[in-house]
Each structure stands twice: as C-alpha cells, then as structure tokens.
C-alpha cells in the first residue's frame, strides 16, 4: 500500500512506538475515554467504519466476527478508488481488556503478524498497548517503511473524534 498522505499528528495523545527486539513493535496510545467505549468503538463494524484508516479513505468492507477463531477483514478505499485489503483471525477475546489476533496486508501474503492488544483504564482514560510480533525482522521493517506510522497516528486521531461523539 502506498504511504498514506497525512497531516501532522496531533501532539495530544500521539502514539509511541518501541522495538523490544528485531521482530517486535509495541504501540502505546492513550485515549480520553473509558475502556468499555474504546473496546466498543474498536470491535463494532458501524463504529470501525467511521474511523479506521487515514482521512480521505473509507472502508469498502468491514467484517468482524468477534470470537476466538472468528475472522475479520477490512478493505480500505482511497480517494483515487484504489482498494487494499487487511485481514486476520481472532485468537483470544477478553472484553473489554484484551484481544489477540493475526493481521495481514493481503497484497503481501505471508508477511502477517500477531497483535496482542490490551486496554487499561485509569481515571476515565484508556491506554492501548498493541504488541506486534512479526515472523521476520524484514517484515517489521517493511511495515514501518510503508508509511504505517503516519497513517496510524491519523487513524487514532479519527478514533479520538468518534469517542468524543460517543461519550
């Protein structure tokens, strides 16, 4: 997928990325909303359609079968009409605190990774910690070089905006 064109990330609550090993990335982000609301906005198709992907894109497909063994699939459509698919399988769901699932960019089969996402609430704010484990260092590095960080920051800003509306 081409690098997303993004506006500068808001300094409020920008995600941080760390790299504990050659095959790992950890994304940490605070949302100004209760954990239950963040979980709902992240797992319900009618909500995910409103925020997933950079500005100027839409979700042509948003399928979520939220159960262990259930599949998910999103197809993002750019302003130019190009579409890119992402999919995976849920391995573990502990609502509203933890999800483990696979994720793969469909245009690059075999480069998927496992995400362990935890949501921790404190004082009405929720910290998302997403631990991504890749099959190879090259897959992690390719993901980073794809422009994913800018697109992720903008996507998180869109989620912030939806959470404000839902509150």
Residuewise pLDDT in 10s, the chain (167 residues)? 444 333 344 446 899 999 999 999 999 999 999 999 999 999 999 999 999 999 999 999 999 999 999 999 999 999 999 999 999 999 999 999 999 999 999 999 999 999 999 999 999 999 999 999 999 999 999 999 998 999 999 999 999 999 999 98
Domain range summary for the chain, segments of one domain joined by + = 16-53+94-166
CATH T-level assignment (fold) for domain 16-53+94-166: Alpha-D-Glucose-1,6-Bisphosphate; Chain A, domain 4 (3.30.530)
Q: Is 69 helix (H, G, I), strand (E, B) or coil?
A: coil
Instruction: Tell me, yes or no, if the pTM score tops 0.85.
Output: yes
Strand order in the sheet with 58-64: 16-18, 24-31, 125-134, 113-122, 98-105, 83-94, 71-77, 58-64
User: In whole angstroms, how far apart are CA 7 and each of 41, 42, 54, 109, 151?
Assistant: 23, 22, 9, 29, 9
> Which residues is 116 bridged to in the sheet?
100, 131
């Amino acid at each position: 997928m081409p690098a997303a064109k993004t506006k500068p990330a808001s300094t409020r609550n920008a995600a941080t990325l760390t790299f504990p090993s050659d095959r790992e990335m950890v994304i940490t982000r605070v949302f100004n909303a209760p954990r239950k609301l963040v979980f709902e906005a992240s797992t319900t198709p009618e909500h995910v359609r409103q925020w997933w992907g950079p500005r100027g894109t839409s979700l042509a497909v948003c399928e979520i079968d939220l159960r262990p063994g259930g599949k998910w699939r999103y197809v993002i459509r750019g302003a130019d009409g190009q579409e890119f698919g992402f999919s995976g399988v849920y391995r573990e769901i502990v609502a509203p605190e933890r999800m483990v699932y696979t994720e793969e960019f469909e245009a690059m089969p075999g480069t998927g990774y496992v995400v362990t996402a935890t949501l921790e609430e404190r004082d009405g704010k929720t910290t998302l910690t997403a631990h991504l484990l890749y099959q190879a260092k090259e897959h992690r590095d390719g993901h980073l070089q794809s422009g994913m960080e800018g697109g992720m920051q903008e996507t998180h800003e869109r989620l912030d905006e939806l959470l404000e509306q839902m509150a």
